[in-house]
Amino acid sequence: LDLVDLQKELQKSRNVFPENPSVWVKDLAGYLNYKLQAPRSDPVLSQHPHDYPYCLVSKELRSIIRSLLAKASDFLELFFDHCIYTMLQELDKAQGESLHGYRICIQALLLYRPRIATTNLAKYLEVLRSQQNRPAKCLTVLWALGQAGFTDLHEGLKVWLGVMLPVLGIKSLSPYAVSYLDRLLMMHPNLTKGFGMIGPKDFFPLLDFAFMPNNSLSPSLQEQLRRLYPRLKVLALGARPEAALHTYFPSFLSRATPACPPAMKDELLTSMSQCLSLDPLSFSVWRQLYTKHLAQSSLLLNHLLESWESSSKKVHQSLQETVRSFKVTNEELAARGAAGDQHVAACDAACKELLCKMRGRGFPWPQLLLVLLILAAGFFLHDLQTHGSFQASSCARLLRSSGVLPASQLAWQKVSRACLQGYRWLEHGLAQHGSVAVSVLRPQLELLWNASGEVARAVSLQGCSLLSWLQGSLPCLGDWLQSRLPEALLHLAECVRELLQFVLRSCLLPLLQGLAAALQRGWQRCLDSCSGEVTWACVRDHLVSFTYSSWLYLQDATLALKNWALAMMSGH
């Protein structure tokens, strides 16, 4: 493509229509479409990447297109409609032009403003319905609208729910609708931007398409949609499923009939269990719907019975009230002889088994052990308070008579003797070996300390030079990014840069300075306490003093705890 010739044509258009930028962009699209001729391919370009043909456009041409779109920002919706309708007109011609120029303009436009594709989806849905017998035209419209989703998941879901879900049952359009959804969710693994887009009225038709047999989708498309279903469910439930699940419960319950396909039945029962475990309001919704959905409730009650061991105690507590309510309702229905007696009987049997499960919980061994431990501790403290000392207490007499106390005293004497011998060996052995180690290692440690100081200074100098280089390079980097990124990303990058500078200046540097000062003060105090020279004898004296003070503190704390416990016992 001759860019010089293109610039001349655009300048001619600006000279003829100086106050009408909409003509400029239309002339740009017409010029590109005329010059970029290629053999016609399928309407959705399925053999090419998702950003074809825009991915082949050079940087210079992209810059020209973007600058012209920016000048015509007030006319972009009209320009988008112009490109689509012109493409549809070319498809009516037997020897129509290739559509690559209009496709490039649509992709560049939706890369810049993806919301333009979703401003009037109802109009394009009418176009699809009116052209239903012309698959090429319908697929061309779907391709053009779908380009918004590759930039923004939110807009892509709007397009899919607005124009692709309504045509999902049409044989010629369903493959592209499912493949587009697959590619959209694959390109946006982070689904948070799509939360709130899919509601119950959109979700349950998707559930039916994915699991109900003999629908208008082929088995392969149904299997592909079923693989996408878990992510669609995450999108539907949103960031707080515990606040939304009760609104989905009625539709889950109404579909869970005994004749339901096994795969769908498993999904429905699992989803209803999720509703009951996460959203307590689902229980009240179930109680309101119970009499009208006895067969479905029977399936759910039996499912809860089968999964009883794996369900949480919170569900058990909430379920108990609901099951008791169902039992009363079952008795009333049985007394009236209402229709569907077999479902009433099945529900009543499941309710009885669930109530037996709730009453027949295992023996509470942990609670019993805790009570026994508390009683034993209370008896021991009361015994000490009554007899005045441990030696005179009943516990001591019992331990002496059973032989436990003499054996424990003998073991304690042996342990104490071994610890004393070990301490004496350490006192003499460490003093001797420590002085040798200090005399041998001190020169090497001093060399290591000096080398560490040199390394720290070198790292500091390199860090300062790197920071100064970054400070000088940031303006150039900012200018480069400004020409290639949207304003919102630039604002975000600026905020991140300010945050990093704040953390460096206000947190990291003061922290490092404070740490260095603390180490210096600690070393100086160590030198002062050792009369200017750190020796093994000085270090040993410090360790002995620290151990002795810790032992005294532990004794005081134990005595204070004992006195508090005795005071509490005597007070009660």
Q: Quick: pLDDT tens for 332-344.
A: 888 887 656 788 8
- Mean pLDDT per 10-residue run, the chain (572 residues)? 90 89 92 87 88 92 93 93 94 81 95 93 94 93 95 94 94 95 94 91 94 88 94 93 93 92 94 92 93 92 86 76 90 76 88 82 64 74 72 74 77 83 76 72 80 81 75 61 54 74 79 82 75 70 75 78 71 53
Q: Domain count for the chain, please give it.
A: 4
Question: 509 phi and psi, to 5 degrees?
Answer: -65, -50
266 and 350 together in one domain: yes
Separation between Cα atoms, residue 509 and residue 431, nearest integer Å: 41
* DSSP string covering 498-529: HHHHHHIIIIIHHHHHHHHHHHHHHHHHHHHH
Alpha-carbon distance values, 103 to 43, 83, 90, 108, 131 (Å): 11, 8, 13, 9, 20
Question: What's the start-to-end Cα distance of the chain, in Å?
Answer: 97
Separation between Cα atoms, residue 269 and residue 535, nearest integer Å: 75
Separation between Cα atoms, residue 239 and residue 223, nearest integer Å: 27
356 and 435 together in one domain: no
Q: Would 456 be classed as within a structural domain?
A: yes
353 and 369 together in one domain: no
Q: Which residue has the tokens 């074809």?
A: 52
Q: Among residues 240, 291, 297, 292, which one has the least CA distance to residue 272?
A: 297
**Of 484, 508, 527, which residue constitutes the final position of a domain?**
484
**Of 459, 484, 509, which residue constitutes the final position of a domain?**
484
Separation between Cα atoms, residue 537 and residue 14, nearest integer Å: 93
254 and 341 together in one domain: yes
Q: Would 180 be classed as within a structural domain?
A: no
**Which two three-digit tokens encode residue 424?**
């004496």
pTM higher than the cut 0.85? no
281 and 301 together in one domain: yes
341 and 444 together in one domain: no
Q: Among residues 225, 273, 223, which one has the least CA distance to residue 248?
A: 273
pLDDT value at residue 66: 93
- Cα–chain center distance at 572: 52
Q: Would 108 be classed as within a structural domain?
A: no
342 and 434 together in one domain: no
Q: Would 432 be classed as within a structural domain?
A: yes
372 and 314 together in one domain: no
pLDDT value at residue 376: 75
pLDDT value at residue 398: 75
Separation between Cα atoms, residue 159 and residue 150, nearest integer Å: 11
**Which H helix or E strand runs over 182?**
helix 174-187
Local structure of residue 49 (DSSP, 8 states):
-
The parent domain of residue 560 ranges over 540-572
248 and 354 together in one domain: yes
Q: Would 249 be classed as within a structural domain?
A: yes
